Each structure stands twice: as structure tokens, then as C-alpha cells.
Amino acid sequence: MRRFAAKDWLRFVGGTLGVFAVVYLLAASSEAETNGWEEVFFTANQAYKEGRFEEAIDRYGRLLDSGHRNGHLYYNLGNAHFRLNQIGRAILNYERAHLLLPRDADLKFSLGYARDQTQDAISQPKGFVETTFFWLHTMTLHEVFWGFAGLNLLFWAVLLVRLFRPSEWTFYASVILLVLWLIASASFGVKYFKEQTDDRAVILAEEVDVLAGPDTEDTLLFKLHEGAIVLLERSEDGWSLVSLPDNKRGWVKKETLEKINRVTS
Amino acid sequence: MTQPGIAHGQIRPKRPLCLFRLVLSALSFQPSALFLLLSSLVFIILPCAADGAVSVTMQLDRKEATLADSVKMIISVAGARKSDAKPAVHGLETFHVTGGGTSSRLEIINGQVSAGIDFTYFIQPQRTGTFEIGPAEITIDGKVVRSNKETLKISPPSRISGAAQGPLFLTATLSPNQVYVEEQTIYTLKLFRQTRVSDISLALPEQEHLSFKQLGKPLEYQSVHSGQSYQVLEVRFAVTASSEGPYSIRPSTMNLTVYQPRTRSRRTPFDDPFFNDPFLSFSTGRPMALSSEPAHVEALPLPAQGRPADFSGLVGTFQLESKLEPTEIRAGESATLTVLLKGRGNVHRLPDLEMPELDHTKVYADQPVLEVETDQQGMGGSKTMKWALVPEKEGLYHIPPLTVSFFDTKIRQYRSIGTSPFSFSVLPGQEKERHVAADFGRSETTEGPVKLAVKELGRDILPVHTSVKDMEPALGAGPQGLLPWILLTAPFLVYGVAFCGKRLRKDSDKASALAKTKKAAGVLIKKCRKGELSSSDLGEAIRGYLNDRLGLSLGSLTPREAFEILQSRGVRPASSQRLQAFLQRLEDDVYSGRGQDVCHMGEDLPALVKEIDKEIR
């Protein structure tokens, strides 16, 4: 076995220091970046506190546009819109926040209050899937995914053990894990599908005429008001086809509403 | 005018023995007639059973009428089916009275039987003024029972334009014509008709700053106009002006279908009066629209002089009633202050009174209850406000009066009315008593302070989230990129690889065993051909051949066992015996100490092995 020479030691220490230097530089650049968004966040909060809600909206929006997709930011943005009496935009951002923070008590309270301010009584009936997978309402897609991933790992690990060392405990463990795995996989599938096909949109204009066709000359079917949540079926030529849970359908101008789920919009 | 021994408005008559007498009579009848008697008995018994406390009420169909109208008056006697004489009514000296008939009634409501008589009269005023009518006195079983009194205001007949004359016309009156802003005036529409009408609908004129509210149900009565008798349908509205100025109310329009008897050129069998019944389809109906004359009203501004600071726009006549219950409580318990603000006028402006802060007292306001009522005289109502007062300490507490200001339309000036000042005394709370009880070592269940529902006094959104920790990149987003999916599929892939590997290994073991079987004879023959094998080595080689060829793992094998195994695998006995004999010889060599010597086979072993190899199944 070859002994370490002084030259080798020097090379080792130099290499280690080099690695540390690279890591430090990376961390420092990351820190500098963090300081940037922190400042914007602080100034946005300060603006909100001092009643400069337009400025707060601008700054929160800037943070979101820069990639900080965060439920708390959406919540703050919703609050700022609410203070400006923009109930539609407040509900839009609260709903976006709700996708990311489904168990946040502040958000639930404020969203409930904002919903109370809307004019249209549109009930959101719970379907079979929502009733069966009731726990999904309180979990994010991320949580459901990692829960499923963990269970998946455990399940296959037990099966692997059983493949080489079959025993009674591996049999029972694999049966229990199989049941849990099926529930978790179905939950993840449902949640993923629901988020991918979430076509809910919020009416942002104070009052919107819902017409029979994508033309201002078409028959007025009914009216919707700011904050109402509708299902966006499709959009064409500056018009959007929307529907309500009670099967009312019609066309509204595209700029009068905005989709809640930004991932699918 | 009460007489000794007579309760005002009601007496209790003697119980008749009619039920007992009837049952006795029934028993004396033949059985066949008994059924008929029993069925009719129900109708006879019920009125007897219905007799009870007797009361008399008098009712007018209107409180206001004109000289041209006739007012319907009903005197209802409850608890009796007959009276000794017809009722005598006071205060009808200036009225012309026409009898409208008598009807008796029998009602069974929730098992309670009640009987009564209704005397109907039509009274026609002879002069204008406000008259007090009643009480009506009626003698039942020798006792005099008196009714309530009613007030009737008689005004001159309304002036009707010439165009409105005829068998069918509509009039509109507004009274008074000068009001203050928010004060109500009564808009009365009357349909005078001498023919049958149906499908009546009314279109009220729409006027900016004027609101109409219908007062009660439409009235129907008879009236005389220009010497002709009319059936009148009267509808009243409370009209309120929200801003000052003269207003001209455009004519109201009434759409209806008018039925007129069909005129016939010559007499037919259908000219009999029976067929002229307006309810039969022998009369023709035609739609018609009637218009009233316009009406005028002037809304005066509320005077600025003397306007109280807390004036909320309330206009009308109002009273304030208040009570505090209980007036003696323990600390921590609650007393309820109830304030009732009621009256006539724009009741929707009744304010929510505010309770001032009281020292050492928690005040919980209840949701005020507004009740709006309408009658022929206009709109009225009340607002009930309640506060639960929970004192924290013992002592004497004073509640200052709560006041409300309004413009009184009767005296035409602002007024402020207030509740009476209340006081209540508070004794030491339960906590102290419990402490004392504990000191005396008595075990008793004590209740805590009175629990009150937490009331929501206001609602708003909650503050923004300011923690930087919360601003970590969102974990709510779903799996993004390839890595999560790889993580999800990796365990399955690992398992799959392990499973396949194990399977392959198993297959490979089988294949190698098969190869060994095929090569076993070749290996032995090769060893034999090399020559110079000792007896021991040769015996071992043959045993190895049999193990490989037959898939056995036998450590030792006697010649006899070899013979039996070969027999069981279908080898002919001759071949098996030859191998047995050869093995026996080798074994003898080994046991005789020549085991390591070179073996001289004396047998064509390769040929024998080939033969056995072929014969093995």
C-alpha cells in the first residue's frame, strides 16, 4: 500500500478548500437572492399595514410573478384586494391560497367572510368522489403525493423482503400495506385528476351579463355578480362559456373572469 | 253600565239537561229506531255540549266611511245558540239601521266544540263626525251580556267627477293632501259597480320619490251614490314621500272583465230569471280598463328648528316601553333589559338604541326584532331590543334612560321620548358562596357563573401573514419534474428486477441440473477410458454418475440400492444386475484392502453405462 506523500496531502487540502469555496459562493449568491425577495415581502407588508393596498398588491404580485408560488402570498394578496373592496379578486386569491394551504384557519375564516359578501347564491354540491375521499379536501396534492410515495416505498420493500425471506409477518404486513397502498394510490389519482381538471373561475366584474352566445346581441340568460364561482368550459374569440352547478350555461366576456388554478390555466 | 252580578262581557248559563233526557228517550225506543236516533243525537248533543262561557263581540267592517256608504256591523254571540231577544246597540241614534239576518254556527276546532249566533246589520250614517258605537247588549237566559265598543269616523262623500258616473267607475282620493316628508298619507281607490266583474288587476302609477304600500286586504261593501246603490271595492295604500315638493299622482288603472246580461230580441224559454243568473255563462264578459282621477299631495320639509341631534328620520307617533327583569341578581348572573319602541309611521326607520357602557358590567345586545303591521289606517309596527346585563361585582347599578327622537305628526314638532331609569341590585356571586360551603366541609353541586352564548359583534378578514418562514417555496404544488415520478416508480422497478433475477436464477439451476443429467454418462465413460482408476475412485465415479443421471444426492450407495433404484427407473433387470455385480466387486476390493489398487474392470463398463443410460426413463 502506497503511503501519502506531502504532495498528496497538499493536493487533498487544496481540493477540500476548493469545494468549500464553491459551496460558500453558491450559498452566498442564494442568500443575496433571498434578501431580494424578503425586502419586497417586508415592504409589501408595510404598505398593507399603512393602508397602501394598491402598492401591497403590486409587490405581492411581483413576488408571485417571480416564481414564489406560495399560499401565504396569495392570502395576503387576497386580503389587500378585499380591503379595496375587490371581492372577486379577493376570492380568486383566497381560492388559490386554499389550494396550497387547505388547513389554514386564517384563510378559511377570511374566505368564508369574503364569500358572504357575494350576491349570488351558488351552491357547490358535493359529489360521490368528494364524499368518499373526504380527507382530500384538507390535503394538498403535494402532501397526498409524498404520502403515497412513502407508502409505495414501504409496500414494495416488504414485498422485496418477502421475495427472499417469506414469513408470516411479511404476509400480513404486505396484505395491510396493499390495502393502504390501494387507498393512497386512488387518493393520489383523484387529487391529481381534480387539480389537473380544476376549471373553476371567479367573476371579477361587478355585474356580468351571461348571454346565450358569444355575441353582445345574443339573448341575456342571467346575470352574475362579482365573486361568483363558475365552471369555465372553454374560451374562444374573447368569450368564455361558463356553467353553474344547476346546469345554467352561457357566454361571458373573457376579461370578466379569471381561472383559479394557475397550473391548468 | 255594569249591573250587579254580571261579569262584563260574559256570563255562565245554567247547564241544560238535554243530553240526559235524550238518552232516556232513546232507551224507550225500538232497537231499529235506535240507530237513527243515535246518528242524529250527535248533532243534537254537540250544541248542548258547546254551551259554555257566553261572550259578545261587535265588529264593523270599516273604521272610516262616508255619508254615502253603508257599514256592515256583526254582533257575534259565542257560547249560546239562542238569545231571549235581539241585541240592543247603543250609539246608533244617528244611523239608519237595516237588519242583515241572523245566523247560528257550530264549530269543532281541535276537539273543542263552540256554538254561536251572528246578528248582521247594515248601518247608514245620517251625518258626519266620529261616533262611538256600542256596546251591544243581549239577554241570554235572563242575563244581560255586553259587547265592546267601536269607533266610526264619517266624512262627507267624496267628490266624483262627472265622467266617473255610470254603472262602473273608479275613484281615487288622497287624505291628507299635505304631509311632511316621510309622513304617510292614505291613497284610497274605490271601484263602484252595479254589474258583475272579475279578473281585477290594478296598475299603480309610478312616481319618483313616492312609495306605495298596500294596507290590508281590499274591502267590499255597499254604498249609495247619486241615489243609486253600488257595490264598492275599496283598496288603500300608504303613500310616503321621500323628498319635499308638490306631487301629482297620475291616474291609477284597473283592468277587469265586465259581465253584462245578454239582450234578446224575442222571448225564449231561457228568459226565465233562473237563466239570468250572472254566475252562469249566459252573460258575456268583456275586458275593460278603468282609470281614476289624478291626486295631488304636497310634501313639506321637516322643520330644521328644534331638530334633535339624534334624530334618525323617524316620522309618526311612537311610544317607548321598557322593563328590567330581574332587579335583584348575583354577580355573574344576567338581568335582561327589554325596550319596545312602537307606533305608527315610517317604522322601517326605527333606530337600534345603543346601550351606554356600564361600569363593571358586561353588556350583550340581542338582535333587534322589527315587526311591521299594516291596517286600514296606515303602517305601524314595533322594534324590540334586548340587552343581557352581567354585573361583575356586587352593588347597586343604575341604567341611564335610553332616548329616541322623532317628528310627531300629531303635534307637528320634534319629540324625544326615553325609557325610565332603572336600578338593580347585585348580591355577591356564587364563587364566594361555594368557597364558604367548602369551608364548612359540605359537599354540594354548585353551578358556575351563567354561561352566555358568545355573540358576534362584527366580522372582518384576518391580518396578513408576515412570517418569512411561511414564504418558503410552496409545497402545495403537485409533483413537478421527472424526479418525483422516478421516486414513485423506483421501488416497483427494484422489486421487478429482484423478482426477475430470482426467477432467472431458478431457471438456470434447473438448466444446469439437466445438463448434468445429459453429461453424466459421458463424464463416467471419459474417466473409464483414462484408465488406471482405483476401485475406490471407480465406485465413487459410478455413484456420481447415478446421482447426476437420476437427480439424486446420495452420499453412499450399496450395490443392492443401486439395483433397486435402476429397477424403479425402468432399467432392465439384466443391466441392473450387471451393474450391481460390478459395484459388489469394487466394494469387495475396497473392504479387502485393495481399494487403492488399479482396478481391472473385467467388464465393458462404458458399454454397460451406455446401455443403462438408454434404458433409464
Question: In the predicted model, is pLDDT for residue B600 greater than 80?
Answer: no
- If asked whether residues A102 and A138 sit together in one domain, one would say no
Contacts of B476 in chain A (CB under 8 A): 71, 99-102, 140-143
- Which of A96, A89, A84, A79 is CA-nearest to residue A227? A89
- If asked whether residues A109 and A151 sit together in one domain, one would say no
Best residue of B459, B460, B468, B471 to probe chain A, by most A CBs closer than 10 Å: B471
Query: Do the strands B422-427 and B395-399 form a parallel or antiparallel pair, or are they unpaired?
Result: antiparallel
Res B200: pLDDT: 86
Res B43: pLDDT: 44
What are the φ and ψ backbone dihedral angles of B152, each rounded to 5 degrees? -130, 125
Binning pLDDT at 50, 70 and 90, where does residue B288 land?
Answer: confident
**Residue that the C-alpha cell 351571461 belongs to:** A210
Contact B468 A41 (CB under 8 A): yes
- SS3 state at B442: coil
Contact B488 A41 (CB under 8 A): no
Q: How far apart are CA A36 and CA A42, in angstroms?
A: 10
Is the CB of A192 inside 8 Å of chain B's CB atoms?
yes
The nearest CA of chain A is from the CA of B498 a distance in Å of 7
Binning pLDDT at 50, 70 and 90, where does residue B478 land?
Answer: low
Which of A169, A196, A223 corresponds to the end of one domain? A196
Which fold is adopted by the domain B162-262+275-300? Immunoglobulin-like (2.60.40)
> How much is the average pLDDT of B565-586?
88
Residue A2 domain flag: no
In chain B, where are the structural domains located?
Answer: 10-16+51-150, 162-262+275-300, 318-432, 506-615
- If asked whether residues A133 and A111 sit together in one domain, one would say no
Which of A63, A83, A116 corresponds to the end of one domain? A116
Best residue of A145, A193, A197 to probe chain B, by most B CBs closer than 10 Å: A145
Range of the domain at A219: 200-259
Q: How far apart are CA B590 and CA B539, in angstroms?
A: 9
Q: How far apart are CA A13 and CA B393, in angstroms?
A: 78
Cell of B257: 272583465
Which residues face B323 on adjacent strands?
Answer: B338
For the ranges A141-150, B36-45, B164-173, B498-507, the lowest mean pLDDT is seen at: B36-45
The nearest CA of chain B is from the CA of A148 a distance in Å of 8
- Going from the C-alpha of B103 to that of each of B9, B51, B149, the distances in angstroms are 20, 16, 22
Residue A85 domain flag: yes
Q: Are B391 and B430 in contact (CB under 8 A)?
A: no
- Going from the C-alpha of B559 to that of each of A74, B539, B565, B567, B585, the distances in angstroms are 91, 10, 10, 12, 9
The nearest CA of chain A is from the CA of B458 a distance in Å of 11
* Assigned architecture for domain B10-16+51-150: Sandwich (2.60)
Residue A122 domain flag: no
Cell of B491: 421501488
Per residue in B324-350, pLDDT (tens digit) is 888 888 887 888 889 999 998 888 888
Q: Are A56 and A45 in contact (CB under 8 A)?
A: yes
Continuous segment of H or E residues that includes residue B129: strand B129-133
Best residue of A142, A151, A161, A164 to probe chain B, by most B CBs closer than 10 Å: A142
Res B398: pLDDT: 86
Question: In the predicted model, is pLDDT for residue B7 greater than 70?
Answer: no
* CA dihedral sign of residues B119, B122, B126, B128: positive
Output the average pLDDT for chain A. Answer: 86
For the ranges A73-77, B117-121, B260-264, the lowest mean pLDDT is seen at: B260-264
For the ranges B3-7, B358-362, B605-609, the lowest mean pLDDT is seen at: B3-7
Q: What angle, rounded to 10 degrees, do the helices at B535-550 and B605-615 form?
A: 20
> How much is the average pLDDT of B381-389?
88
- If asked whether residues A180 and A228 sit together in one domain, one would say no
Residue A124 domain flag: no
Binning pLDDT at 50, 70 and 90, where does residue B162 land?
Answer: very low
Contact A156 B495 (CB under 8 A): yes
Binning pLDDT at 50, 70 and 90, where does residue A15 land?
Answer: low
> How much is the average pLDDT of B131-156?
86
R_g of chain A, CA atoms, integer Å: 26
Same fold, B10-16+51-150 and B162-262+275-300: yes
Report the residue from B465, B477, B478 with minimal CB separation from A76.
B465
- Which of B476, B466, B474 is CA-nearest to residue A102? B476
- Which of B391, B358, B385 is CA-nearest to residue B371? B385
Whole-prediction pTM: 0.41
**Residue that the C-alpha cell 250609539 belongs to:** B91
Per residue in A227-252, pLDDT (tens digit) is 999 999 999 989 999 999 888 999 99
Which of A176, A196, A216 corresponds to the end of one domain? A196
Residue A177 domain flag: yes
- If asked whether residues A184 and A207 sit together in one domain, one would say no
- If asked whether residues A176 and A248 sit together in one domain, one would say no
> How much is the average pLDDT of B581-585?
86
**Residue that the C-alpha cell 235572563 belongs to:** B142
Count of pairs with CB atoms under 8 A, one residue in A, one in B? 103
Question: In the predicted model, is pLDDT for residue B262 greater than 90?
Answer: no
Is the CB of B30 inside 8 Å of chain A's CB atoms?
no
- Residue with the bigger pLDDT between A6 and A87: it is A87
Cell of A190: 383523484
Give the angle B499-B504-B505 at the CA atoms, nearest 5°.
100
Give the contacts of B384 (CB within 8 A, at least 6 positions apart): B338, B339, B340, B368, B369, B371
Is the CB of B485 inside 8 Å of chain A's CB atoms?
no
- Which of A116, A62, A55 is CA-nearest to residue A84? A55
Residue ranges of the alpha helices (H) in B304-351? none
Torsional class of B101: left (φ above 0), alpha (ψ -120 to 50), beta (otherwise) = left
Burial (CB < 10 A; 0-12, 13-18, 19+), residue B329, is buried
Question: In the predicted model, is pLDDT for residue A150 greater than 70?
Answer: yes
The side-by-side arrangement of strands in the sheet containing B253-261 is B196-203, B253-261, B283-291
Contact B499 A143 (CB under 8 A): no
Per residue in B426-446, pLDDT (tens digit) is 888 654 444 434 444 444 444
**Residue that the C-alpha cell 350583550 belongs to:** B364
Q: How far apart are CA A73 and CA A64, in angstroms?
A: 7
- If asked whether residues A153 and A218 sit together in one domain, one would say no
- If asked whether residues A154 and A168 sit together in one domain, one would say yes
Report the residue from A76, A142, A156 with minimal CB separation from B477.
A142
Q: Are A208 and A253 in contact (CB under 8 A)?
A: yes
> How much is the average pLDDT of A174-189?
94
Res B34: pLDDT: 46
Question: Burial letters for A110-133: b for 16+ Cβ neighbours within 10 Å, e otherwise?
Answer: bbebbbeebeeeeeeeeeeeeeeb
- The CATH number covering residue A235 comes to 2.30.30.40
Res A256: pLDDT: 94
Res A21: pLDDT: 57
The side-by-side arrangement of strands in the sheet containing B150-155 is B64-66, B150-155, B129-133
Question: In percent, how much of chain B has pLDDT > 70?
Answer: 78
Residue A121 domain flag: no
Res B603: pLDDT: 63
Q: How far apart are CA A221 and CA A208, in angstroms?
A: 11
- Which of B162, B151, B290, B288 is CA-nearest to residue B225? B162
Per residue in A191-232, pLDDT (tens digit) is 999 888 889 999 999 999 999 999 998 999 999 999 999 999
Look up the CATH superfamily of B318-432.
Immunoglobulins (2.60.40.10)
Q: How many domains does chain A have?
A: 3
Per residue in B449-460, pLDDT (tens digit) is 566 666 666 778
Residue type, A51: G
Q: How far apart are CA B13 and CA B77, in angstroms?
A: 13
Res B30: pLDDT: 45
* CA dihedral sign of residues A45, A50, A51, A54: negative
**Residue that the C-alpha cell 314595533 belongs to:** B382
- If asked whether residues A153 and A73 sit together in one domain, one would say no
- Going from the C-alpha of A106 to that of each of A96, A142, B594, the distances in angstroms are 14, 21, 100
Nearest residue in A to B470, CA atom: A72
Res A19: pLDDT: 58
- Residue with the bigger pLDDT between B479 and A210: it is A210
What are the φ and ψ backbone dihedral angles of B196, each rounded to 5 degrees? -80, 140
The side-by-side arrangement of strands in the sheet containing B295-300 is B178-180, B295-300, B245-249
Q: How far apart are CA A106 and CA A97, in angstroms?
A: 11
Best residue of B459, B464, B487, B492 to probe chain A, by most A CBs closer than 10 Å: B464
Contact A73 B471 (CB under 8 A): yes
Question: Burial letters for B561-587: b for 16+ Cβ neighbours within 10 Å, e otherwise?
Answer: ebbebbeeeebeeebbebbbebbebbb
Question: In percent, how much of chain B has pLDDT > 90?
Answer: 3
Residue type, B431: E
- If asked whether residues A207 and A254 sit together in one domain, one would say yes
Question: In the predicted model, is pLDDT for residue A36 greater than 80?
Answer: no
Give the contacts of A228 (CB within 8 A, at least 6 positions apart): A118, A119, A120, A122, A202, A203
Q: How far apart are CA A262 and CA B181, in angstroms?
A: 55
Residue A1 domain flag: no
- Going from the C-alpha of B523 to that of each of A63, A86, B310, B361, B557, the distances in angstroms are 81, 94, 123, 111, 19
Cell of B295: 291626486
Q: How far apart are CA A63 and CA A82, in angstroms?
A: 19
Contacts of A72 in chain B (CB under 8 A): 465, 467, 470-471
Residue A183 domain flag: yes
- If asked whether residues A163 and A254 sit together in one domain, one would say no
Contact B470 A113 (CB under 8 A): no
